[in-house]
Amino acid sequence: MAAKDTGRRAAKSAREAIRKNPKANRVYRASVGVVGSATTALGIVLMPLPGPGAVIAIGGLGILATEFEGAGKVRDASIKGVKAAAKTAASLHDKRRAKRKER
C-alpha cells in the first residue's frame, strides 16, 4: 500500500508543477483531451460488437474527467444508466428463469 500512496503523491506533485506553468498546463490538458476523446470514441465504435465497448467508453470519460468537469458529469450519468440497465436485465433474467421452472 505504501508504494501506491507514494505514486499518488508523486503524480499529484507533478500535476501541481504542471499547473504552475501555463504553457505546460495547456499542453497537458490538450493531451488528456486527445487521449480521453480517442478512448471514448473507440468505445463508442466498439459498442455494437460483443465485448467491452461501453466499459471502454466510460473509461475514456474517466480520463477526460480528470481535467474536465463536464466529462465527469457525463461519466456519472453514464454509470447510473449502466447500473439501471444491469438491474433491469437481471430482473428480466430472474423472471424468465422463474417461468422455466414453472414448466
Q: Buried b vs exposed e over 49-69: b needs ≥16 C-beta within 10 Å?
A: eeeebbebbbbbbbbbbebbe
pTM above 0.85, yes or no: no
Residues 40-79 pLDDT 10s: 999 999 999 998 998 999 999 999 998 999 998 999 998 9
Identify residue 78 by its one-letter amino acid code: S
| DSSP label at residue 49 | S
- Cell 453514464, residue located: 78
Sign of the Cα pseudo-torsion (8, 56, 69, 83, in order): negative
- Return d(Cα 61, Cα 10) in angstroms, integer: 23
